A and B are shown apart, each in its own frame.
Chain A
Amino acid sequence: MSENATAEEIIICQDVCKWFGDFQALKDCSLRVKAREVVVIIGPSGSGKSTFIRCINRLEEHQAGDIIVDGIPLTRDVRNIEQIRSEAGMVFQQFNLFPHLTVLENITLAPIQVRKMKKEEAQETAMGLLNRVGIPEQADKYPGQLSGGQQQRVAIARSLAMSPKIMLFDEPTSALDPEMIKEVLDVMQELAESGMTMLVVTHEMGFAREVADRIVFMDGGEIMEVGTPEHFFTNAQHERTKLFLSQIL
């Protein structure tokens, strides 16, 4: 991991292909993400958006092409996989908090177990993160006692506790009631402004327009078009992109 190789492009995907049985979910997807960049991936459902970002931390295994995260090539080597996973945080559509642990325990578990952090230190970090996402008073509650928006903010704090270099968001607001979407997007926006490298699958076009550096449009397992938000919303090139935008805007 030499500095000059990683400083520029922190995620490199080259011709990534993925099959579920006979169905090809990803076709030659190539994408390079720079450090501190926010990339939003949009596209119709079933277009392979989620599969694509789940390949980046190996929740799905790609079968052809290369993925290099922060200079670490993603191979079958378990050590590489674990290293990449501890550098890339992920936030899920369904939050996936651990229901048997309190909010604080949810956040401190991985730092204590994986990073071997001292319990007190981990708790201190966790409280700082809960402050950052705006719910320090919920530390001792269980996830089931929180609203969806609060749970998703805890999930973000849980990922941040591992001090990741990259955050992957897999439709983080799709399971939320409308009035809770904003509180999560606000946290994400703050995170983007703090310089986090982010890869976000979302249907929130307002967020994409405002926060994204680049937008990726996927359809049928392919990356159809990549561009700035301005380019996208005013001057989309591809027919399928235009059709998609006309349907959702």
Chain B
Amino acid sequence: MTTAAGTPSDRSVLPATERYTVLGWLRRNLFSDLLNSLLTIVALAFVFFIARLLLRWAFVNAEWGVIPANFNLIMRGQYPAVEAWRLWLIIYLLGAVVGVMWRLISGQFSGAARVLIAIPFVLMLIPFFSMGTRLNLLITAVASGVGYAIAGYLPIQRRGRAAAYLLLAYLLVMLILLRGVGAEEGPMPPVQPILWGGLLLSLLLAFFGITLSFPLGVLLALGRQSKLPAIRVISVVYIEFIRGVPLISLLFMGQVMLQLFLPDGFPLVDRVLRALVAITLFSAAYTAENVRGGLQSISRGQYEAAQALGLSTYQSTMHIILPQALRAVIPVLVGQFISLFKDTTLVALVGIFDLLGIARTIIANPDWLGTQPEVFAFIAVLFWIFSYSMSYASRRIEQRLGVGER
């Protein structure tokens, strides 16, 4: 670092008028001239008016009793109450896995980690939760702490790979716990997916929709650029067909037609699974187009440098092209995943009780007539929390990977 030579003078100090003060900021940004001042006042009045209406509704008129009364329904749909311990076990394990993975991938207990560990404690403050629920949340928090602590002692070399295996193992265990094994009278009787519902189902559909459609979409994007005409044509036809059809029609087709395409005697595919297939196939086409955008942003020189070094097409795709292409489209992909998460509500129209489906059954219940605003506001907040978390996480990942900087 070199600095301009010379003795310090007044010219090296930020002028007083440029300094950052509250009044200075207000004047510069809100009241810089007459028109600006007028606009500021009108806007403030408008905001105040709306906020007052909203707050009055939320704190005076709204009948929030509908939420605690139906809370279990909203969270897990018709998943049997006696089997709810399996869901809690899944959540404990999630806490532990998050703890371990945090240690493996990030290695430090920084801002975002504190936010994560705070989540169970914040949830414990919700007034209508029973002591049992609070205890369960506490166990989850302890599990993640223990996971984080233990992971520090594990002699693991390839941390990224270990984290990936752990996640896979967790998903498998989670599905087994959810679905159950053994006889009806056994310790873990099967629970048909059609009984899974509420937030549980919305999250499952979104998570598996995203994780299954992503690799398929990447393959389709690569296929669309393939030198082999057959692969290219299949990819293009698939992508353009799916993108030309609304998701809701795919969902109906999945419910009605999927069974027709399968060979005779093939066991009946569960309705939830059929919806998941439709969501995945739909999302893959959009992922493919987004990833293609990233692939096109890679300069020819990158391909040539990889070729000149003797890398095979597969090696250069995996090590050079895809890492850069995917990094370039993280914001677009996350945007698409958020919209996929919200689009899962369409399954309510084919008789599956996700968050929206459950909301509709609650407001149809004679006991809770006229509570549409409360119920819909509540599930809107739930959707917002998860969507915003995804958006926040994506921004963190972008920062870490330095998108647009290198």
Contacts and interface: CB of A to CB of B under 8 A. Distances in A.
A36 B306 CA distance: 25
Interface stretch (A97-105, A178-186, A200-208): A97-105
B312 A57 contact: no
Interface string B359-398: 0000000000000000000000000000000000000000
B304 interface: yes
A96 B310 contact: no
A245 B141 CA distance: 77
Nearest to A114: B310
Contacts of A40: none
B305 A143 contact: no
Contacts of B299: 94, 96
A100 B305 CA distance: 14
B324 interface: yes
A92 B324 contact: no
Contacts of B307: 57-59, 85
Contacts, number: 69
B10 interface: no
A100 to B, nearest CB: 5
B345 to A, nearest CB: 36
B309 A92 contact: no
Given A94-B301, A100-B323, A57 B308 contact: yes
Interface string B227-266: 0000000000000000000000000000000000000000
A89 interface: yes
Interface in B197-229: none
A152 interface: no
A159 B326 CA distance: 26
A223 to B, nearest CB: 23
B310 A86 contact: yes
Interface residues of B, number: 21
A85 B308 contact: yes
B324 A110 contact: no
A62 interface: no
B406 A100 contact: yes
A42 to B, nearest CB: 22
Given A59-B307, A100-B406, A114 B315 contact: yes
Interface in B312-359: 312, 315, 319-320, 323-324, 327
Contacts of A144: 405-406
A109 interface: yes
Contact of A114 (B304, B309, B327): B309
Nearest to B318: A113
A114 B311 contact: yes
B406 A99 contact: yes
B308 A59 contact: yes
Nearest to B406: A144
A242 B299 CA distance: 37
26 contacts: A57-B308, A59-B308, A82-B312, A85-B309, A85-B310, A86-B310, A89-B308, A90-B305, A92-B301, A94-B299, A94-B301, A96-B304, A96-B305, A97-B305, A99-B324, A99-B406, A100-B327, A110-B311, A113-B315, A114-B309, A114-B310, A114-B312, A142-B406, A143-B406, A145-B406, A158-B309
Interface of B: 299, 301-302, 304-312, 315, 319-320, 323-324, 327, 402, 405-406
Given A96-B301, A110-B309, 12 more contacts: A57-B308, A58-B307, A82-B310, A82-B312, A89-B309, A90-B304, A92-B301, A92-B308, A94-B301, A100-B406, A114-B309, A142-B406
The 5 closest A-B pairs by CB, nearest first: A86-B310, A96-B305, A110-B309, A96-B301, A90-B308
